[in-house]
């Protein structure tokens, strides 16, 4: 943002950037190798497939690549005095709230979960824009009043002062 950018212009730029982010997030990607594999939830989709001779319908769900913790299953303890826990590790895979995917029925496409817009920031900018416009209108009224009074003045010194004062009011100077 530049020093002189109007808040309404900045709000419009923010809205445009958010719209672009929504469009990008809404695009389904078929490059599963580029999907995030850090535990980030994303939309996962699978095209219709066949598993063991049975049709598996297309589906989409929210899920993520299993993290290391999610790949270990508690199998009991060692049986000794220490009772150390023992785990079985499974290969990392895509999991979801509705049961996950398998190597035989993997997701075929994905997309990001759309970010939530920062509505409060946009509203604050819009409110600031309205306040700035109202303040500018009030300054203009004051300046016009000073100019109108200037016409009634006889002294050139007073007219010069009033003209300078009207210009200062329009700029927002408090003096």
Q: Is the pLDDT of residue 3 over 60?
A: no
Q: Is the pLDDT of residue 42 over 80?
A: yes
pTM exceeding 0.85: no
- pLDDT given for residue 114 in this prediction: 72
Across residues 57-71, what is the average pLDDT?
Answer: 83
Mean pLDDT of 46-51: 82
Q: Which of 23-27, 32-36, 145-149 shows the lowest mean pLDDT across its residues?
A: 23-27
Q: Is residue 30 within 8 Å of residue 80, measured between CB atoms?
A: no
Residue 168 tokens, joined? 């200062």
| Whether pLDDT at 61 is above 70 | yes
* HEC string for 7-34: HHHHHHHHHHHHHHHHHHHCCCECCHHH
With beta carbons less than 8 A apart as the criterion, state whether 107 and 44 touch: yes
Backbone angles phi, psi at 60, to 5 degrees: -140, 145
Give yes or no for residue 1 having a pLDDT over 50. no
Of the listed ranges 18-27, 57-66, 77-86, 88-97, the one predicted with least confidence: 18-27
| Nearest alpha carbon to residue 64 among 25, 31, 100 | 100
Q: How confident is the model at residue 10 (pLDDT cuts 50, 70, 90)?
A: low
What b/e sequence results for 138-157 when a residue is b if at least 16 CB atoms lie within 10 Å of its CB, and e otherwise? ebeeebeebbeebeeeeeee
Judge whether residue 102 has pLDDT over 80.
Answer: no
What are 133-171's pLDDT values in tens digits?
777 777 777 777 766 666 665 567 667 777 777 777 777
**DSSP secondary structure letters along 93-139:** -EEETTS---SSS---EEEPPPPPP-HHHHHHHHHHHHHHHHHHHHH
Kindly report which listed range (28-32, 46-50, 89-93, 117-121) carries the lowest average pLDDT score.
117-121
Domain ranges across the chain: 27-111, 119-171
Separation between Cα atoms, residue 163 and residue 159, nearest integer Å: 6
pLDDT at 55 over 80: yes
Closest of 101, 110, 111 to residue 49, by C-alpha: 101
Q: If we measure between CA atoms, which residue out of 44, 141, 21 comes closest to residue 95? A: 44
């Amino acid at each position: 943002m530049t020093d002189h950018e109007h808040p309404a212009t900045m709000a419009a730029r923010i809205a445009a950037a958010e719209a672009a982010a929504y469009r990008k997030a809404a695009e389904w990607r078929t490059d599963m190798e580029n999907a995030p594999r850090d535990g980030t939830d994303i939309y996962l989709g699978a095209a219709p497939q066949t598993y063991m001779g049975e049709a598996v319908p297309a589906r989409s769900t929210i899920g993520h690549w299993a993290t290391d913790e999610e790949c270990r299953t508690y199998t009991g303890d060692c049986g000794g005095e220490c009772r150390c826990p023992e785990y079985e590790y499974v290969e990392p895979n895509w999991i979801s709230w509705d049961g996950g995917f398998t190597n035989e029925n993997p997701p075929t496409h994905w997309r990001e979960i759309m970010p939530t817009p920062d509505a409060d920031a946009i509203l604050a900018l819009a409110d600031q824009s309205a306040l700035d416009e109202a303040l500018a209108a009030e300054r203009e009224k004051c300046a016009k009043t000073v100019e109108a009074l200037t016409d009634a003045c006889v002294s050139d010194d007073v007219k010069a002062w009033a003209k300078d004062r009207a210009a200062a009011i329009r700029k927002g100077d408090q003096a």
